[in-house]
């Protein structure tokens, strides 16, 4: 029945765990509206034939519906809309909540290509390789304009924005090749901004990953290479460590938990910080990126707004590398509170 309805509605192949739930909701909405629309249409035709005006003197009688009928016309359609909303909201929450242990891949959109970087080191242009049966979280940013990452067979679509990270996730259910499209008009080359997700069996993916690491190691030994995504050879954590030194980040942020001008980076990832305006935020990839691009937007309570903006100074891959470096700075301590204030008052303009 599922396959019949999918083909009848011209839907693409179901290649992710999301596809089945989304399609079932789609079937429910389409079939309900189809049945009700058919019923309304047939009733209209019946009334047109049975109650048509047969003479010029015939008048239309006044009909006063009962309370039960009025209630049925209001609450039956309303109940269907609320049911659709409840099912859709459950799917939405699931789609926006990546499971623990999901594999991270950084995605950079650029006119007119998709670039992918794995925290372990491999990089690719327009080709994303993932294992089947494993959740994959995509952390996405744009280098120029708004794009939208869309894989029809996975039933996922997420806008990709310049200067910040958005995320989506999926779990492919079977090996295969699936097209990536841009679903947001981004310029003259919008129609050719395409890529491919290659879903491999878990053992095949591990073999591919190992071969990439071996190739990366040989290139670091002196062989020539042309990596389009990463700012330097090595994995993202190593790149982030180097960039943090080069950009002067560690002049204001400690990496060992000691108090400094800015919040320490040790155990910063997923810390609950209190802001100067009283709000609390979760330090995730999006917040870390926003703090680099627009540091005055959300200032942590107890700290001065002295951090400069790195917008147009750091490329998307460099931001991803620093984020991965911050994420790697984890200790065995269990931190429950927000960051302590600075060790001393910073000198403005530095």
Q: What is the CATH number of the domain that holds 268?
A: 1.10.760.10
Position 29 in a domain: no
pLDDT digits (tens, 9 = 90+) for 179-225: 999 999 999 999 999 999 999 999 999 888 888 766 655 555 544 33
* pTM strictly above 0.85: no
Q: What integer is the mean pLDDT of 2-14?
A: 87
Q: How confident is the model at residue 229 (pLDDT cuts 50, 70, 90)?
A: very low
Q: What is the CATH number of the domain that holds 131?
A: 2.60.40.420
Whether residues 211 and 117 fall in one domain:
yes
Whether residues 181 and 132 fall in one domain:
yes
Q: Is the peptide bond before 195 cis (omega within 30 degrees of 0)?
A: no
Position 159 in a domain: yes
Per-residue pLDDT at 231 exceeds 60: no
Position 321 in a domain: yes
Whether residues 179 and 107 fall in one domain:
yes
The larger pLDDT score, comparing residue 267 to residue 347, is at 267
Q: What integer is the mean pLDDT of 119-140?
A: 88
Q: What percent of the chain has pLDDT over 70?
A: 88
Distance of alpha carbon 254 from the chain centroid? 30
Whether residues 276 and 200 fall in one domain:
no
pLDDT at 258: 86
Computed over every residue of the chain, the mean pLDDT equals: 85
Whether residues 216 and 250 fall in one domain:
no
Whether residues 190 and 261 fall in one domain:
no
Looking at the DSSP bridge assignments, the partners of residue 168 are: 138
The larger pLDDT score, comparing residue 224 to residue 279, is at 279
Position 39 in a domain: no
Q: What angle do CA 38, 44, 45 make, to 5 degrees?
A: 90
Q: How confident is the model at residue 314 (pLDDT cuts 50, 70, 90)?
A: confident
Q: How far is CA 83 from CA 28, 32, 36, 272, 344, in A?
A: 10, 12, 16, 35, 56
Whether residues 141 and 212 fall in one domain:
yes
Q: Are 154 and 121 in contact (CB under 8 A)?
A: no
Whether residues 112 and 178 fall in one domain:
yes
- Which tokens go with 221? 């030994």
* Structural domain count, the chain: 2
Q: What integer is the mean pLDDT of 61-85?
A: 90
pLDDT at 178: 95
What span, in angstroms and rounded, lies between the C-alpha atoms of 150 and 153? 9
Position 241 in a domain: yes
pLDDT at 349: 43
What span, in angstroms and rounded, lies between the C-alpha atoms of 55 and 95? 61
Measuring CA to CA, which residue among 285, 302, 307 is closest to residue 337?
A: 302
Q: What percent of the chain has pLDDT over 90?
A: 39
What span, in angstroms and rounded, lies between the C-alpha atoms of 251 and 256? 13
Position 288 in a domain: yes
Position 97 in a domain: no
Per-residue pLDDT at 144 exceeds 80: yes
Strand pairing class (272-274; 136-142): unpaired
pLDDT at 3: 84
What span, in angstroms and rounded, lies between the C-alpha atoms of 252 and 262? 5
pLDDT at 230: 40
pLDDT digits (tens, 9 = 90+) for 284-293: 888 888 888 8
Q: Are 236 and 117 in contact (CB under 8 A)?
A: yes
Measuring CA to CA, which residue among 172, 191, 126 is closest to residue 17?
A: 172
Q: What integer is the mean pLDDT of 40-62?
A: 86
Whether residues 208 and 259 fall in one domain:
no
Domain that holds residue 267: 236-328
Long-range contacts of residues 264-272, Cβ cutoff 8 Å, at least 24 apart: 264/339, 265/325, 265/326, 265/329, 266/329, 266/330, 266/331, 267/329, 267/330, 267/331, 267/333, 267/335, 268/326, 268/329, 268/339, 269/326, 269/327, 269/329, 269/330, 271/335, 271/338, 271/339, 272/338
Position 300 in a domain: yes
Q: How far is CA 170 from CA 18, 53, 96, 160, in A?
A: 7, 59, 10, 16
pLDDT at 217: 56
């Amino acid at each position: 029945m599922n396959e019949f309805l999918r083909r009848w509605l011209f839907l693409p192949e179901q290649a992710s765990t999301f596809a089945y739930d989304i399609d079932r909701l789609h079937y429910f909405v389409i079939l309900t509206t189809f049945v009700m629309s058919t019923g309304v249409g047939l009733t209209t035709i019946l009334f047109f034939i049975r109650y048509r005006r047969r003479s010029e003197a015939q008048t239309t009688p006044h009909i006063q519906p009962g309370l039960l009928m009025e209630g049925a016309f209001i609450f039956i359609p309303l109940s269907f809309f609320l049911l659709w909303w409840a099912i859709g909201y459950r799917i939405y929450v699931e789609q926006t909540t990546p499971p623990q242990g999901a594999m991270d891949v950084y995605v950079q959109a650029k006119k007119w290509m998709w670039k992918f970087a794995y925290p372990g080191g491999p990089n690719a242009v327009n080709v994303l390789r993932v294992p089947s049966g494993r959740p994959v979280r995509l952390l996405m940013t744009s280098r120029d304009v708004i794009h939208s990452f869309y894989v029809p067979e996975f039933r996922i679509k997420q806008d990709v924005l310049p200067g910040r990270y958005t995320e989506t996730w999926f779990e492919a259910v079977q090996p295969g090749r699936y097209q990536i499209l841009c679903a947001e008009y981004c310029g003259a080359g919008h129609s050719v901004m395409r890529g491919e997700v290659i879903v491999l069996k878990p053992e095949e993916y591990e073999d591919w990953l190992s071969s990439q690491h071996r190739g990366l190691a040989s290139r670091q030994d002196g062989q020539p290479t042309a990596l389009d995504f990463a700012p330097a050879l090595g994995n993202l954590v190593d790149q982030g460590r180097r960039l943090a030194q080069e950009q002067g980040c560690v002049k204001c942020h400690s990496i060992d938990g000691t108090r400094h001008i800015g919040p320490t980076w040790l155990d910063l990832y997923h810390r609950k910080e209190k802001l100067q305006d009283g709000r609390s935020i979760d330090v995730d990839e999006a917040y870390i990126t926003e703090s680099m691009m627009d540091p005055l937007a959300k200032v942590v309570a107890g700290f001065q707004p002295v951090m400069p903006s790195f917008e147009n100074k750091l490329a998307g891959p460099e931001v991803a590398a620093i984020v991965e470096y911050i994420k790697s700075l984890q200790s065995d301590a269990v931190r429950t509170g927000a960051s302590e204030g600075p060790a001393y008052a910073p000198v403005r303009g530095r």
